[in-house]
């Protein structure tokens, strides 16, 4: 077990195109579809409904929605769901699943940096450790935009495994993983200059291979709260799991609820 708290390499902090633009192809998406059991998704959706106090039929924006696991589970419960993601493959996969179940979900391809006009929601969810994908300036702009999209008495939910208090106490350099028939090796490096987690991925399925590198901003829990409050949210709650345990140092993730 090794830990690396100095940058072994540097990716551009402000690339011409965000790293996530072409990262989520079929092989990467298929891995994450296989990696999360349905009961985990159900526990997360139950947490959102309970803790967020979602009223029947509430409008929920899933951003980014990935392959739609939360969008589908929410729609099955009768919520009105919009799912946005930049991955064409993920959006098409999610839309196909919704059609097969007869669920009406507004799935669209969109970038978090350029949200479609006219969005309104009672709740916005950013699940699956997708927070921190943007630069700090763009994150601030996104939070401000979400503060305008969410209705009064609504909420923003963030699932953030790369929050500093969860990530840094147990940062591993190499992490081998497998889900279904897909093997993955993730190699982590921490850039102390920019407080960024740099992770190079190799996905393999038989003779197929795909490589990609993610760049994720690492915020402390207090910085996350300030981002929300500065964007106009009135209060912030922090949990460690879907059972509602309080967030603490070395919790595996931060589940944040920011209320309007």
pLDDT of residue 5: 33
Contacts of 215 by beta carbon, 8 Å cutoff, 6+ apart: 11, 13, 15, 19, 133, 196, 197, 198
Integer Cα distance of 67 and 92 in angstroms:
8
Predicted confidence (pLDDT) per residue in 53-81, tens digit: 999 999 999 999 999 999 999 999 999 99
Q: What does residue 115 show for φ and ψ, rounded to 5 degrees?
A: -70, 145
Q: Give the per-residue pLDDT at 17.
A: 83
Instruction: Provide the percentage of residues in the chain whose pLDDT is more than 70.
Output: 94
pLDDT for the residue 14: 47
Q: Comparing 6 with 257, which gets the higher pLDDT? A: 257
pLDDT at 182 over 60: yes
pLDDT at site 16: 66
The predicted structure's pLDDT at residue 23:
96
pLDDT surpasses 90 at 163: yes
- Please give the pLDDT value at position 92: 98
CATH of domain 19-161+220-259: 3.40.50.150
CA angle, 141 then 162 then 40, to 5° = 105
User: How many contiguous H segments (helices) and E segments (strands) does the chain have?
Assistant: 7, 11
**SS3 state at 191:** strand
Rounded Cα–Cα distance for residues 38 and 68 (Å): 12
pLDDT at 3 over 80: no
State the number of CA atoms in the 13 A half-sphere of 34 facing the CB.
15
Domain ranges of the chain: 19-161+220-259, 166-215
Dump pLDDT digits (tens) for 12-40.
444 568 999 999 999 999 999 999 999 99
Percent of the chain whose predicted confidence (pLDDT) is above 90: 93
Quickly state the pLDDT bin for 7 (edges 50, 70, 90).
very low
The CATH classification number of 166-215 equals 2.20.25
DSSP bridge partners of 257: 157, 237
What span, in angstroms and rounded, lies between the C-alpha atoms of 249 and 222?
12
For residues 164 and 181, the answer to whether their CB atoms sit within 8 Å is no
> 93-132 in b/e burial notation, b at 16+ Cβ within 10 A?
bbbebbeeeebebebeebebeebeeebebbbbbbbbbbbb
Other Cβ atoms less than 10 A from the Cβ of 178: the count is: 12
Strands (E), 53-120: 59-62, 80-85, 106-109
Averaged pLDDT, 81-86: 98
Cβ count near 245 (within 10 Å): 11
Mean pLDDT of all residues in 204-215: 97
| Rounded average pLDDT over 215-220 | 98
- Asked if the bond preceding 186 is cis, omega within 30° of 0, the reply is no
- In this model, does residue 4 exceed pLDDT 60? no
């Amino acid at each position: 077990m090794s830990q690396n708290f100095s940058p072994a390499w540097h990716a551009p902090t402000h690339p011409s195109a965000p790293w996530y633009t072409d990262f989520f192809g079929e092989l990467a998406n298929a891995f994450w579809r296989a990696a999360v059991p349905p009961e985990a998704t159900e526990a997360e959706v139950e947490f959102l409904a309970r803790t967020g106090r979602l009223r029947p039929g509430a409008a929920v924006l899933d951003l980014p929605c990935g392959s739609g696991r939360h969008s589908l589970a929410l729609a099955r419960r009768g919520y009105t769901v919009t799912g946005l993601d930049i991955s064409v493959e993920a959006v098409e996969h999610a839309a196909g699943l919704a059609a097969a179940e007869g669920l009406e979900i507004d799935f669209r391809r969109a970038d978090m940096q350029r949200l479609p006009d006219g969005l309104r929601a009672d709740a916005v969810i950013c699940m699956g450790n997708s927070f921190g994908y943007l630069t700090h300036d763009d994150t601030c702009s996104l939070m401000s935009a979400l503060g305008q999209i969410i209705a009064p008495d609504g909420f923003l939910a963030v699932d953030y495994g790369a929050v500093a208090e969860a990530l840094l106490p147990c940062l591993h350099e190499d992490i081998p993983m497998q889900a279904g028939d897909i093997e993955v090796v993730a190699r982590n490096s921490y850039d102390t200059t920019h407080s960024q987690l740099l992770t190079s991925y190799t996905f393999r399925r038989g003779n197929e291979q795909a490589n990609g590198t993610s760049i994720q901003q690492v915020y402390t829990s207090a910085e996350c709260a300030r981002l929300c409050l500065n964007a106009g949210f009135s209060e912030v709650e922090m949990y460690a799991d879907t059972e509602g345990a309080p967030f603490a140092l070395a919790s595996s993730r931060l589940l944040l609820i920011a209320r309007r």
